[in-house]
Structure 1
Amino acid sequence: MKPIRALLVAVAVAAALPGAALAQRDRDSLGAGWRAQSDQARGGVQSGRLVPLSRVIDQISRRTPGRVLDAGLEGRNYRVRWATDDGRRIDFIVDAETGQILSAN
């Protein structure tokens, strides 16, 4: 059941990002250049150079029960902000090429 839940979370995050961006056109909470980073990540996944973010989220959910707060590509790493079931917030830094978790703070 967990892989299905992780997939649903990934789909929900992907679906929410465009709507959030339109709602905050004047005030970009995702930071300047988020659209270019999103396009870069999509192109990297399509070419096979980067691990899909959905796979990273699934890996994190197996390691630490909780939910995604936000996620995106920063340089050559994914940053996944995670809310644990016990109320903590963890920022996972994951190598986007290998899927290896580099840090969890």
Structure 2
Amino acid sequence: MYEVTEEFVDASDIGKKIGEVKRMADDRTGSYYGDASNYYEKGAKYYKIMGIDSATAIAVEEQQEIWVKAVYLHEAPFHWTDMLAYILMGIGAFVLFIVLSLRYASKKEPRQH
């Protein structure tokens, strides 16, 4: 989780893109997870600041070619959807294993004529 400051970041200090806002924080509860924002719209990009570790601060593109500094506060809370890709890969591997096992087992059984 980062807190946006009022400090602007010069274009010469902007490094590579490191992410973007993927969802908005819940307006009613304030809950959030992953790449969420309670202020910036979905798609807002954030960048590495040259010479500064991303665990200390990042730059958020507030408008085209205008970046502001955001300082690290703490780790974002865990949410089950952070594991969704791994869960889906596990299910896919399990299904593939079952299909291949059944196929192999059917070839091993002698056929009755």
Name the TM-score, length of structure 1 as normaliser: 0.28
Query: Higher RCO, 1 or 2 (CA under 8 Å, sep at least 6)?
Result: 2
**More strand, by proportion:** 2
